[in-house]
Structure 1
Amino acid sequence: MYDSAVPVSGICVDQPTLHPGALLGALGQASYEWCLETDRLAWGAGASAVLGVRTAADIADGKAFARLIDLDRPGGRHEAILQSAHGGTTEGAPYCLRYSYRPHAVGRKRWIEDRGRWFAGPDGRPVVARGLVRVVAECPEDEAAGSTHTVIGIHDRVFAAALAEACAAGRQAGLFLATIDRLGAIHGAFGAVVADRVCAQVMRGLRSVLRIGDSLTSIADGKFAVMLPGCQAGDIRAAAERFQLAIERVTVEAEAGAIQPTVSIGAVHIAPSAETAGTALHAAQQALDRCERETPGGIAIFAEGDHQAASANAAQRLALALNEDRIFLGFEPVLAVQAGGRQAFRARAFIRMPGIAPASASLQPAWLTPACDRALVRRLALRLVDLAGMVLDRHPGIELILPLPVVVDPRRGPGDSFERLTIELDEALAKADLDNNGRYCRAIRASGARLGIGGFGGGHLDFAELQALEVRQVTLNGVLVEMADQVAQGRFTLRCLIETGARHGLDMAAEWVDDEVIARQLLTWGCSRLMGTVAGTLRLELPRLRDAGRQAPMALTGT
């Protein structure tokens, strides 16, 4: 792509010669040449589109670009690049960085992979860096993490999607759950600020030993999840020991003395075609529970023979939660074009942990349902329908979208409240019911509720089948929305789905909408409902209706 030779004068040329080619933009990559003496950044064609910036001035020099990134290293990107080996040779010194990046104030954060080589002039001083950047994933939003930080669940959509993809594709991987030992005691002795610093340093220590392609996320105070794609069963313990060695090097200074945290780790090997994301998470949690109970600060690995016990435990926990009335709903705001004076929410199910307030610790049933028998999951679905009905009865000014894990007969006759309910089924569930003469879908419509399809775009159903089921609303898979924000082919696919659905009289909705630019584009194409950061973040309690209009960061006026 570049001539690797540095100018003989050792001075960065004013107009660097770039040959990025149209292929790079199509692959979601952008080439650059960075003059380290003048701080000038010259980008290849299409870089603004790849990086999602509004003007070329936003990335015209190193300082401007640095304002858009968040790199956990002293000295920032400049020092991180130059920490690599000496670049005085004609081959230069290679570097590879990964950092979070936000293209503009209202955009979402993304992970950027930045790799290339830097070169020195005749005096040995760094002169120029040449490389490629590409958007590899989306970062969990800080504000979303703040509103759901104490909920024990995978709210990092990128991590959850990577785990689900690894399980669905039958690729082996290692999944690890790590929790900081005695974090409550640290909080009590040193205060919340020091405890937060301990959490941050432990996460940084874990990140320091990850490879490109590995995933790390925080899922609760002092609790982290790590996934290592391609990790074999025999390497699980070695990987866990590597994590613990990294944490042993972590020291947090406080006024009362230094703190050296330790972690307990529960791990599971995800075997090809043997796991779902839910069962893998539950298995790792089982191993972590055993580690904390028997060998705090150690490592516990979920064994193959533990699956039956884990399934029994999951069923027991879900059955107890149902019997003890510990199921409750959280509410994700929905931005609607024609609200009709009502505020819409998408309901999410949670299990309150015994003896603890809902806002402090709760579990998502999705962690348990894959390991439970169908009859128990039906009980959960019916309980969710009952809870939704009670919410609608108490709040006549709202509408609810309720995703269900299985198809059930709501067992409720037509009424004013259920006319404001959309029961949302997964594409595969609806397809299976259609093959069974659509019995449950008919029951849902007979209850007065609208029938919706969630995660649409997987190819299970076509529009003719949606009409046969009398579906009223279709929620497009969030992955399609993300693709539309990154590549032209993704935008074309999404636009075709929206316009075709609108022609068939369907209310088209989109999830994972975190950017105002793509939100307005979706509305232009015919979307009537948006879910994501533009609408607001998940709440464990229903906001007061008089404040509901203030929840959405984006207004629909002027679209």
Structure 2
Amino acid sequence: MATKRQGRAGLFNGVSRTSRRRPAPTGPQAALAALKGVVYSWDVASDAMTWGPNAPEVLGLPPGALPRTGYAFSKLVEPGSGPDHRDLAAQDGSEPSFDSRYALRFAPNRVLMVQDAGRWQLDADGRPCVLRGMLRIDPAASAQDLLPASIKARSLLLRHIQDNIDEAAQLSHTCTLMVGACDDDESVAMEQVARSLRPLLRRGDHVDILSPTRFAITLTCCPATEAMSAMRRASALVQAALPYAILHLGAACSPDHTYEAVKLLRFAEMALEAALSRSEPAVLHKTRHATKSKASDQSVCDLLAALNERRLVLALQPVVEAPSRQPALVQARAAMRGENGGISALGPVPAAETVNPALLIDGRMLELAADHLARHPEARLVLPVAQETLQDREWLPMLAAHLGARPGTASRLIVALPETILADAGEVVGPLNAMKALGLGIGLSGFGTGYASLASLRALPIDLATVDGVFVQTLKRSTDDRLFMRTLIDMAHHLGIAVAAEWVDDEASARLLAAWGVDYMQGDLFGAAEAAALPDSALKRLKRA
């Protein structure tokens, strides 16, 4: 395996194109900042969201305020502005890729229009289980003058609510917000409902129309203990004026639930949704208390069972040389074999206190990969390895043992690590150099997501960088997306690093990437992932099990 300093022409038996020395390009972090994009991942089962390192800058939030669950993120989505990824997850998964546009609200006067594009990873039943995507901010559409009228009206209401909350806090008073809707009866005019509620209002209170089917009531000096009574009085007034209307109400209180108008309105709307779903006249928001879940422990047990039963398999997808489209490498992934014989990609690996599940999985995949290389002398394979595995003291001895038992395989193996390792390049340079000393290549996956810098890439012995597919998927969208991709390619080539692109699914994108100098491509255009064939001895053991 050639080193980075030997240039890309020596990589993988001359498959890569010749490197040309160019002026040092802009670093990837600066290019990503110019793109105004942030990469994220969402695990549907655990609801956990992880963000790229530039998320606080792009979203304008402190790190501690970033939404860490899909549920928390969905509460930032402006109602009616468009489907977010939780809405898309409820679909049948027939379209793995998605591209949506909606608004995120962070404050009464702060709304951002975003483009959300990504791809689902499906489980064995074809249902979405993991999402990898990229949020792009549209600064022009986010200007206050260009926002839709419904969003402007909601901003005005939220500013009014915030003023009420601030005034109540100064006077040590309370503020209750009620949101109401009539039961599936669009014939009831909200203006009529608002007029019927006037006897409930005191000085400083007000009624606002949220939409053709919803309204809001702000009550000052109404504590949480009196909120249910206030909602019963509101229902009685509406019922007296409009006997045919069946009213549902949800309420939230400040300071009991929050001091922020945006959250107070969302909590009241959540309470209303609960009232509608349960067919109850009124529901008061309740603060959710964190409870310890056993889901992670169960996931670890399921994973250990799959390992013991040999149900984890090596899935291989072809990687072609960009100019010629000839097979050059195979990309390996951990996959789970289903009862029907099909395979599905393994989702996020759960954490555990007593064991390192990532090391167990990567150790099993290493064993299968080394066996595959030993049985196929012409094969060259890229094997992903988790950062937790690299940091485990057992990894290097395990790697040396498997490669030492199969002479000739090290030079045809590339161990690909996530770009997150570059967050602290000094901590991983030793293990990476030790891996290079074994004769294998070092790859980088998720290239461009915000962790890589020119300095960190220079410090580490990286041979191959695979651009994250979220950037490939949006190539045809705009000049900015194409410029970002070319910046990544030029920067890697400047350092003598070969570049691969994943999620290449159409001919137009493949031609663009080849023209820009990408060395390798993988995606459905060149073949889907399939389980690697097991040797006869392994098949016999599997059948006996």
Q: Which has the higher contact order (CA 8 A, sep 6+)?
A: 2
TM-score range, shorter chain: 0.3 to 0.5
TM-score (ref. length: structure 2): 0.45
TM-score (ref. length: structure 1): 0.44
Rg larger for: 2
